[in-house]
Structure 1
Amino acid sequence: MAPAKLTRRTLLTGTAAAAGLALAGCSSSTDEAAAPPSRKPGEKITLAFWSWVPGIEKSVDLWNSKNPEVQVKLEKVIAGNKGAYPKMFAALKAGNPPDLGQVEYQQIPSFLLEEGLTDLTKLGINDHAGKFVDWQWQQGVFGDGVYAVPQASGPMGMYYREDRFKAWGVQPPTTWDEFETAARAIRKADPKSYICSFPPTSGGWFSAMSWQAGAKWFDVRGDDWVVNIDSEQTRQVATYWEKLIRADLVKPEPDQQSGWFAEVQAGTIGCWVAAQWGDAILAGNAANTSGKWRVAQMPQWDLAKPASSNWGGSSTAVLNGSKYPKEALEFALWLNTDPASVDLLIQGGYGWPAAKDAFSGSALDKPSPFFGNAKYNEVFAKSDQLIDKSWKWIPTISDTHRHLGDAITAAIAKKTSFADAIATVQQQTVADLTAKGLKVATA
């Protein structure tokens, strides 16, 4: 028997403990699945692949040069909920999706709710599980199915301008208390500068900050999703950043936007607490600052209990409706495990590899002129080991992140409590899950 297909009904009503999703009631159908389609010997095909990963075209070109019968046509799409995902969902609904799509780990449950991903177990993907870091592999595992090939993650660190810190007379902070002290010293030394910005609309960044503090926003208990956004740890993070904003110690503004890049280039923003993939963003948008950056671990809440977190990370998924899922999977596996491909992806700045042992000897494991010829990725290698990897995502995470951005932006504008904003987001998230027909509990 082929593995049962994970349908929307299964996701809503299947076995919670097995799938890692809050489900209750009926199990999925166990009808015999049809053999997946495959190309005929000698037949030339073209696979459509939608992705936003920088530099991924080099890996695609390498594949195409080696596989004349199975070509991949790459279409670059805009990342996120205003670009790639609405386009993918529309294509799935219309019955003409690409064979492969870039899908962030946090978005996999959303795609499963819409029956948008192919169960790759019937194509033999489990034979390749040992090639990947376990926690990233698990991001695509639901029940007995595997629905994505892991690509990369985003362990967190602190990028900082060594030259500016020296000019301001501050040391890289190792704790969040030291971070506040350094922020005050910088504002006193140079009223035009800030230690960092605070991105009000970035729910993903705020998730990572809460993750590091020990929050567990989502879990499964029996047949229920458990929502615990409004926790002590999240309120600690929210209150901390509210305090810094009210005291004019950090600048509330979106990161990775033109204004922010201008400040980074000018050195009026001293650091960026961000994921490993941020290195390529800095190098690509602030080339004039080459040699002036360094990287340290995230400041800690408790030095005796060091912790980090993850921001981002994505997979290569075979979308339901692909005419050639077998060949699509072969490409996805090659893309994310072949040493030459992985090295090209690393050079493009795709994040922290999901492939096991990809760090040692790779482009990541070399001194970087942009970071003062330091082997800065050693920081992220350690960070990766300090992540609580039990963090879970929910099918409505995009809505939660949007609620966060709206609530915190409003709290800044109205000078109301960040803690109250978090409580509102908790209520909104429960309502979102309930509207999907999922059973929900609160911690």
Structure 2
Amino acid sequence: MSTPPRRLRGRRLLPLAVTAAVIAPLAACSAPADEGPVTLTFQTWVPGIDQAVDLFNEQHDDIQVELQTIVSGAEGGYAKMLSDVQAGNPADVAQVGYDQMPTFLLNGALEDITDYVGDEVDVFSDWQIGATTFNDRVYGIPQAAGPMGLYYRSDVFAEAGITEAPATWDDFYAAAVAVRATAPDRYIAAFAPNQAAWMEGLAEQAGEPWFQVEGDAWKVAIDNPDTLRMAEYWQRLIDEDLVKVQADLSSEWFADVQAGRIVSWMSGSWADAIIRNNAPETSGQWSVGLMPQWDEANPRSASWSGGSANVVLKGSAHPEQAAEFALWLNSNLDSVSLLTENGAGWPAIADVDSIPSIQSAPEVFEFFGGQDIWDVFAESSEQVARDWQWPPLVDALNASLLDEVAAAVESGTPLTEAYAAVQERMVAEMTAKGISVAD
């Protein structure tokens, strides 16, 4: 077996109440090679990942991987994964979002793979391997993230007298006013009450994190001053009719993007494909910039829903081989290039300059007016907040956020009150589940 990794920078701490369920011996090492190749099952929703799996199978005689395509999300794949673990028949490897890792740990559903991967995890960026590491133990191999940026119609911005991406939120407000003046039905962006991940990204970038560990308890600070400042900012944009309250990725939203009525979108690095595939006639009219900053001297970004990892589910008959496959899938350059090209997200390895599909993407660059947009997302990834931590019960968090923000928008209640209500609901949810919450 490999030697354990050194102390990992950017690791996550979890209260003992969360980690107690996963303090168990590692499964035994693999069976002798003369018993034949090991067959692993891999559950994932990532499009095009079959190409990388096929490449692994071609290059490995001792391990073969069978792909199982599942539905993403709490009510689809995650529910099946957890129920299969409880039933004692889990897949070997599974796709799990960074935001779901604490919940899976709380349910005792992840194998500790630290001793199987050793120092080989050093190839990954600090913040992404940190997202899968708890109390200095590795529970997953990071695959990809969605560092956020600002996609914008540079032609419309130019019409409004804006020559570059807004550097600060004050600049974004001024741009919103200028864009609104160019046409009666045109808005700089949509305020999307249907997107918990988008709202969480705005809060992550705003400053103080919502959840942190204090000893054996969780500190919950959803209604912190930085988040309330962000909420007040967007409330002003809504009140002054400078953004359109609209569900993004809806039919209406797509129509507005295609017609130039919505002319920017703060989203993850993977969103370029959504824009290119749904508004092909706007080719050459888009650019990408970093998220506007609250403090230019201390740039800060966020990653849409964090990202996702490949984990070894508790009860796998072949945890060592499963860890080997997950590590290869996300560190082998041919595999990572395929994943990136097929839209899996921003790669987890630190040396993105070594990835062929990052260095040459002529179709992407042409659509964005010749801009190498990956330079922007490389910078955004470096600026992703290191202190943001996902809590257990993230599904309850998302549901509370969507409920309260939608209700506030509909009733005209200030958004700040919505975040205060989410704070109360999450403290109550966590307490009811026996999770210690700091005063």
Among 358, 365, 370, the residue aligned to 2:367: 370
1:249 maps to what in 2?
242
1:345 maps to what in 2?
339
TM-score w.r.t. length of structure 1? 0.90
1:204 maps to what in 2?
197
| C-alpha contact 1:216 1:228 (8 A) present in aligned 2 | yes
1:142 maps to what in 2?
134
The separation in 2 between residues aligned to 1:24 and 1:44, in whole angstroms, is 38
**Residues 47, 31 of structure 1: CA spacing in aligned structure 2 closer, same or farther, 3 A cutoff?**
closer
How many residues end up aligned between the 2 structures? Answer: 426
The one-letter code sitting in structure 2 at the alignment partner of 1:182 is A
Greater displacement, 342-351 / 251-260: 251-260
The separation in 2 between residues aligned to 1:166 and 1:353, in whole angstroms, is 32
Greater displacement, 205-214 / 335-344: 205-214
SS at match of 2:327: helix
Greater displacement, 198-207 / 408-417: 198-207
Shift of 1:112: 0.8
The separation in 2 between residues aligned to 1:430 and 1:20, in whole angstroms, is 19
SS at match of 1:189: coil
Deviation sequence 1:12-47 (CA, Å, 0-9, x none): xxxxxx971133699789876552453642513432
1:354 maps to what in 2?
348
Deviation sequence 1:86-116 (CA, Å, 0-9, x none): 1212222222221111111111010011111
**Residues 30, 199 of structure 1: CA spacing in aligned structure 2 closer, same or farther, 3 A cutoff?**
closer
Work out whether 1:392 is the aligned partner of 2:389. yes
The one-letter code sitting in structure 1 at the alignment partner of 2:89 is N
Deviation sequence 1:40-77 (CA, Å, 0-9, x none): 42513432111112221111121122235532222222
**Residues 343, 297 of structure 1: CA spacing in aligned structure 2 closer, same or farther, 3 A cutoff?**
same
1:155 maps to what in 2?
147
The one-letter code sitting in structure 2 at the alignment partner of 1:201 is N
The separation in 1 between residues aligned to 2:30 and 2:39, in whole angstroms, is 14
**Matching of residues 27-426 of structure 1 within 5 Å:** 35-38=28-31, 40-41=33-34, 43-122=36-115, 124-171=116-163, 172-312=165-305, 313-360=307-354, 362-366=356-360, 368-426=365-423
| C-alpha contact 2:22 2:108 (8 A) present in aligned 1 | no
Q: Which runs of 5+ in 1 are unaligned?
A: 4-17
The separation in 2 between residues aligned to 1:393 and 1:29, in whole angstroms, is 18
The one-letter code sitting in structure 2 at the alignment partner of 1:390 is D
The separation in 2 between residues aligned to 1:241 and 1:409, in whole angstroms, is 14
The separation in 2 between residues aligned to 1:72 and 1:316, in whole angstroms, is 13
**Residues 403, 26 of structure 1: CA spacing in aligned structure 2 closer, same or farther, 3 A cutoff?**
closer
The separation in 2 between residues aligned to 1:309 and 1:29, in whole angstroms, is 29
**Pairwise CA RMSD of aligned residues?**
2.4
The separation in 2 between residues aligned to 1:262 and 1:68, in whole angstroms, is 49
The separation in 2 between residues aligned to 1:96 and 1:274, in whole angstroms, is 37
2:432 maps to what in 1?
435
**Residues 90, 29 of structure 1: CA spacing in aligned structure 2 closer, same or farther, 3 A cutoff?**
closer
The one-letter code sitting in structure 2 at the alignment partner of 1:353 is P
| C-alpha contact 2:238 2:245 (8 A) present in aligned 1 | yes
The separation in 2 between residues aligned to 1:412 and 1:26, in whole angstroms, is 38
| C-alpha contact 1:110 1:394 (8 A) present in aligned 2 | yes
The separation in 2 between residues aligned to 1:273 and 1:235, in whole angstroms, is 19
Shift of 1:436: 2.0
The one-letter code sitting in structure 1 at the alignment partner of 2:258 is Q
The separation in 2 between residues aligned to 1:45 and 1:359, in whole angstroms, is 34
The separation in 1 between residues aligned to 2:270 and 2:18, in whole angstroms, is 41
| C-alpha contact 1:200 1:409 (8 A) present in aligned 2 | yes
SS at match of 2:75: coil
| C-alpha contact 2:148 2:303 (8 A) present in aligned 1 | yes
Greater displacement, 324-333 / 22-31: 22-31
Greater displacement, 253-262 / 33-42: 33-42
SS at match of 1:63: helix
**Residues 86, 419 of structure 1: CA spacing in aligned structure 2 closer, same or farther, 3 A cutoff?**
same
The separation in 2 between residues aligned to 1:163 and 1:408, in whole angstroms, is 32
**Residues 184, 341 of structure 1: CA spacing in aligned structure 2 closer, same or farther, 3 A cutoff?**
same
Q: Which runs of 5+ in 2 are unaligned?
A: 4-10
The one-letter code sitting in structure 2 at the alignment partner of 1:320 is K
Shift of 1:421: 0.7
Shift of 1:335: 0.5
**Residues 177, 294 of structure 1: CA spacing in aligned structure 2 closer, same or farther, 3 A cutoff?**
same
The separation in 2 between residues aligned to 1:339 and 1:348, in whole angstroms, is 14
Greater displacement, 311-320 / 354-363: 354-363
**Residues 415, 35 of structure 1: CA spacing in aligned structure 2 closer, same or farther, 3 A cutoff?**
same
The separation in 1 between residues aligned to 2:391 and 2:46, in whole angstroms, is 23
Deviation sequence 1:272-314 (CA, Å, 0-9, x none): 1111121222223323322221111111123233222222311
| C-alpha contact 2:336 2:355 (8 A) present in aligned 1 | no
